[in-house]
């Protein structure tokens, strides 16, 4: 009878024991698979939450009077709109989500508002992501909370601004910032209204995460900016940038700390179960040895079963872990949970790791048993 047939007969005979061991391997694989699959979402979620803190870089014309800048909230100088194109053509930058703006305080009737021309967000080559802000169609306006209230605007209204008629596409919720006083229009409309064609006075951007705490990221940003936009200067909103970077690092460190323990614990779990199973079947080793079966045959019988269960357990555990992550992920990660998907690389890793742990664990007691005299193996059963 072949080794495979013997393994099948033994497994079929000890259905409960085999099922329990298989179930344990399934759980031991499902746990890290689910953890890792959901962990990917957790990392994405952290990234999204940090991104939603807003743009953390402001690139303004180098000639800006900084006192006026901080007083007015924008630069009185302008720079060419095409600076965003220069960023977009590069893929090796620490900047992303580039948003060109043209801002001026203007009168709307008796009220002063902050007119903000908004371009579509652009990304450097190979870094395209969903936009962080809304787009404003030409001929329309999005009114900030205070501006809408002061001007009595509601969605669908027509408003006149600097001789231009605009349809109010949206009235924005209160933010508690200067943004409440803005009226957003399309950049081209703002350029036309302010008679500043092809000009912007600010490019906002998001600094990409830097994983190396030793790197002076502000110096790096300034070097890159000097190379691309020599006529600009970069300001980093340190609180946002640091909070973002710190949170990303905390999330990564937490993951790096927990993951090895999860994997080690599950590996040891599989190993203990396999070793216990082999130990419980020691008398069989004695019988087979007494019948003259060599140690290679016996080892293949026991390690073969461990490998087979490891493979089946890896497949089922991967399915279970992924299913749980997909089912439960969205409630834990409302922003990115829906994007939790099958991580196929985990299947490959599980198919290697689970049988390997089981085989190594099974090999130990098997080798120890076949090294004993057959009579000693049998005596352990009789003594048990």
Residue pair 244/56 in contact (Cβ under 8 Å)? The answer is yes
Distances (CA, A) of 330 to 47, 104, 250, 326: 16, 42, 22, 7
For residue 379, the minimal CB distance to other proteins (Å) is 9
For residue 352, the minimal CB distance to other proteins (Å) is 29
Residue nearer to other proteins on the CB measure, 222 or 293: 293
Q: Rounded distance, CA 64 to CA 75, Å?
A: 6
Residue pair 102/190 in contact (Cβ under 8 Å)? The answer is yes
For residue 292, the minimal CB distance to other proteins (Å) is 2
Residue nearer to other proteins on the CB measure, 250 or 290: 290
What lies within 8 Å, CB to CB, of 76 at 6+ separation is: 64, 65, 68, 69, 201
Residue 291 φ/ψ, nearest 5 degrees: -80, -5
Residue nearer to other proteins on the CB measure, 178 or 287: 287
Tokens found for residue 15: 């259905």
Residue nearer to other proteins on the CB measure, 110 or 382: 382
Q: Which residues bind other proteins (CB under 8 A)?
A: 1, 6, 9-10, 12-14, 283-284, 286-295, 297, 370-371, 373-376, 378, 382
CA-wise closest residue to 124 among 224, 219, 56: 224
DSSP-based three-state secondary structure for 373: coil
For residue 376, the minimal CB distance to other proteins (Å) is 7
For residue 5, the minimal CB distance to other proteins (Å) is 9
Determine the length of the chain.
384
Residue nearer to other proteins on the CB measure, 126 or 383: 383
For residue 252, the minimal CB distance to other proteins (Å) is 50
What burial class does residue 99 get, using C-beta atoms within 10 Å of its C-beta: 0-12 exposed, 13-18 middle, 19+ buried?
A: buried
For residue 50, the minimal CB distance to other proteins (Å) is 58
Residue nearer to other proteins on the CB measure, 7 or 346: 7
Q: Rounded distance, CA 342 to CA 78, Å?
A: 48
Element holding 204 (H helix, E strand): strand 202-207
DSSP-based three-state secondary structure for 41: helix
Residue nearer to other proteins on the CB measure, 51 or 281: 281
Match 């870089």 to its residue by tokens: 57
């Amino acid at each position: 009878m072949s080794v495979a047939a013997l393994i099948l007969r033994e497994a079929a005979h000890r259905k409960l024991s085999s099922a329990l061991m298989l179930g344990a391997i399934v759980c031991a694989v499902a746990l890290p698979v689910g953890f890792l699959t959901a962990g990917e979402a957790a990392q994405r979620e952290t990234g999204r939450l940090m991104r939603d803190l807003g743009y953390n870089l402001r690139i303004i014309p180098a000639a800006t009077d900084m006192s006026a800048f901080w007083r007015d909230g924008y630069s009185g100088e302008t720079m060419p709109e095409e600076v965003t194109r220069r960023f977009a053509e590069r893929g090796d930058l620490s900047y992303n989500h580039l948003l060109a703006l043209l801002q001026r305080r203007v009168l709307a009737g008796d009220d002063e508002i902050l007119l903000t021309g908004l371009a579509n967000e652009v990304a450097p080559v190979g870094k395209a992501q969903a936009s962080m802000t809304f787009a404003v169609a030409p001929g329309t306006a999005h009114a900030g909370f205070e501006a809408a209230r002061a001007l009595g605007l509601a969605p669908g209204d027509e408003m006149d601004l600097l001789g231009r008629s605009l349809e109010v596409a949206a009235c924005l919720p209160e933010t508690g910032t200067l943004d409440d006083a803005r009226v957003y229009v399309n950049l081209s409309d703002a350029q036309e209204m302010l008679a500043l064609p092809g000009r912007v006075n600010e490019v906002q951007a998001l600094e990409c995460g830097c994983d190396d705490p030793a790197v002076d990221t502000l110096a790096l940003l300034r070097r890159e900016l000097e190379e691309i936009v020599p006529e600009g200067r970069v300001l980093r909103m340190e609180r946002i940038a640091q909070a973002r970077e710190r949170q990303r690092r905390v999330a990564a460190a937490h993951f790096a700390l927990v993951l090895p323990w999860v994997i080690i614990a599950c590996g040891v779990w599989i190993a203990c179960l396999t070793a216990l199973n082999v130990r419980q079947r020691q008398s069989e080793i004695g019988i087979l040895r007494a019948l003259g079966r060599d140690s290679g045959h016996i080892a293949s019988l026991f390690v073969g079963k461990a490998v087979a269960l490891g493979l089946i357990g890896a497949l089922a555990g991967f399915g279970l872990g992924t299913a749980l992550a997909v089912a439960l992920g969205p409630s834990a990660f409302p922003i990115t949970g829906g994007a939790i998907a099958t991580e196929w690389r985990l299947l490959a890793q599980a198919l290697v790791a689970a049988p390997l742990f089981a085989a190594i664990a099974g090999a130990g007691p098997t080798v120890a048993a076949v090294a004993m005299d057959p009579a000693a193996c049998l005596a352990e059963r009789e003594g048990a």
